[in-house]
Structure 1
């Protein structure tokens, strides 16, 4: 199992300079990859380009670039530019976001997210291959019918014709689509104890898309689980560092009727707690919502406690099928505390610093 770092996005107590410092530390310590997120503040490709110029070895992943925020062609241009400038280190993570951000921030209807994602990935892959791009799908018709546009191909020559594509997915149908069309899955609130149905949906998609050997459909597929790490010996006190994060997603990342993270918590067996968290959060009682997140939920989906306890619990992820564990070192930490956490995780995971870049 590889170990990566999820840097999130800056603006919630973290700065762009903090992200760069953590990425450079990950590069020195032998981490596999760094992943950068976006919501409606800092964007991921700008940060990844900056980080790519200041690192040598570590792979650069978007977790995610929002599908409603860019045309497929623009995403292909951005992906091939970062990949070429970094010497082939880019991984393209995509996600549809949610209805509030898609429609409220980007002005793009959230309807038919599965169909849109399928068409989007197809166009991006074709553009990266430098095919002459045309598409008949209902969501991204290219060229626009009846106008002066013509089918084009990418005007630059990237270093790779096949940049790895990852999808952020939560629901069963989206997981099947991820297995069918993508090279990896970006997971949030991943619990090794509740992973069976999620991985089965991915495998169903892999078989349907013919993207792996028949006997071992998950071969070559990258399961990336983002997992907060808090090195505080008292587990309950450690959990307090990520309560706000859990409450934001379970309670406020979406509407009452359409919150994918709340639905995930329900499928994990936390129906009553998920309903209470959402009621409190949507009523503006954010601290109470955070306090209502069960310790069991946090402990299942994060690495909490002493270095020895964290080391003893790492194996749960690999045994469950995770191929890249992407540790998140936020939770109100200072930069120095986050850097110390990266050092400790590197040690307990047995990472080795890379040699000189070729």
Structure 2
């Protein structure tokens, strides 16, 4: 199982140069990948294009870019450009986001999200694979040709949690990126659903990137309390609440990977056994010395790269 870092709602540097530096530091530390949420901050694909010039090995990916803000042609155009700038080390993660976000923040109608994603994927995949598309769907239409001569394979993953999205991920995409999905959920729900769809479509085994909060700490109550403060809001979103229900827990904080070095390693190995192909760890600080706390978690993850 590969190990990467995930920068989401916490931990992002405050400047463009700072975010580029984070990718470089992750490569220097030997991490397999660096994932970032494409939320209301710097444009992450632009950040990765810049990071591609100063890195050589690390994979980079969006986790995830909301689809409602971009026509699929625009998404494919930027993703293919980023793939070229990173010499094939970019992974496009996309998601429909959530109804409250799309309608209240974006001012758009959250209409038929499953069909939206299916059509969106078909257009993006056609452009990524062939450089051209002629598509007429119920929601999207697209007719264009890209002429960029430098092309690389562009892995496309989606934020699939529910059965229909997982089926779409298995049939059309290269895999899924999960959030708030524990080991039991990965084992009994995510893996069998997406793999069945991939097999039926004659595709390769899908990637399953599991993104979760993580803190190495001897003070579990403090780590849990901090996780509650950072991540409790995710429990209000139906797609994440469904994952908590499958896992048999009530709070998003219970999804955080917490414990000392041995305990966190055991939990990570549990995800590998469950079928995760990659962990994207969102390290969060615990205690009075946040710098030391983050460094401790990062040190363990560095040690485990290539060992799970």
Please give the TM-score of this superposition, normalised by the length of structure 2.
0.89
Match of 1:326 in 2: 280
* Counterpart in the other structure of 2:224: 239
Whether the 8 Å contact between 1:18 and 1:335 is mirrored in structure 2 is no
Counterparts of 1:232 and 1:134, CA distance in 2: 53
Residue of structure 1 in register with 2:175 after alignment: 184
| CA contact 1:93–1:186 (8 Å) conserved in 2 | yes
Question: How far apart, in 1, do the equivalents of 2:295 and 2:53 lie?
Answer: 20
8 Å contact kept, 1:126–1:133: yes
Does the alignment pair 1:205 with 2:190? no
Paired positions, count: 303
Are residues 225 and 122 of structure 1, via their aligned partners in 2, closer, same or farther at CA, if it must alter by over 3 Å?
A: same
User: Secondary structure of the equivalent of 1:312?
Assistant: helix
Which of the two has higher C-alpha Rg?
1
Are the counterparts in 2 of residues 40 and 105 from structure 1 also a CA contact under 8 Å? no
* Compared CA separation, residues 181 and 121, structure 1 to 2 (3 A): same
Instruction: After TM superposition, give the deviation of residue 54 of structure 1 in Å.
Output: 3.6
**Counterpart secondary structure, 2:180:** coil
Contact 1:52 1:86 in 2 (8 A): yes
Structure 2 unaligned blocks of 5 or more: none
Alpha carbons of structure 1 residues 311 and 185: separation in structure 2 relative to 1, 3 Å: same
Q: What residue in structure 2 maps to residue 264 of structure 1?
A: 243
Secondary structure at 1:139 match in 2: coil
Q: What's the CA shift for 1:61?
A: 0.3
1:15 aligned residue: 14
Higher strand share: 2
Mean Cα deviation higher: 179-188 or 303-312: 303-312
Whole-Å Cα distance in 2 between the matches of residues 319 and 80 of structure 1? 33
Alpha-carbon offset, residue 84 of structure 1: 0.7
Aligned to 2:67: 67
CA distance in 2, matches of 1:238, 1:21: 27
> Unaligned 5+ residue runs, structure 1?
143-150, 213-218, 254-258, 274-292, 352-358
Aligned counterparts of 2:53 and 2:281: Cα–Cα separation in 1:
22
Does the 8 Å CA contact 1:45/1:65 hold for their aligned counterparts?
no
Q: What is the TM-score of this pair, normalised by structure 1?
A: 0.77
- Aligned partners of 2:20 and 2:48 also within 8 Å: no
Q: Which residue of 2 aligns with 1:282?
A: none
| Corresponding position of 1:102 | 102
- In structure 1, how many angstroms separate the alpha carbons of the residues matched to 2:150 and 2:105? 31
Q: Are 1:346 and 2:287 counterparts?
A: no
Change (3 A) 1:60 1:135: same
Residues 213-228 of structure 1 mapped to structure 2, 5 A cutoff: 219=205, 221-228=206-213
Distance 1:268 1:341, change over 3 A: closer
Residue 174 of structure 1 and its aligned partner are, at CA, apart by 1.2
The answer to whether the aligner puts 1:132 opposite 2:132 as a matched pair is: yes
Output one character per residue of 1:275-297: Cα deviation in whole Å (capped at 9) or x when no partner. Answer: xxxxxxxxxxxxxxxxxx3xxx6
Question: In 2, Cα distance between the equivalents of 1:135 and 1:350?
Answer: 42
Cα shift at 1:56: 2.4
Secondary structure of 1:15's match?
Answer: coil
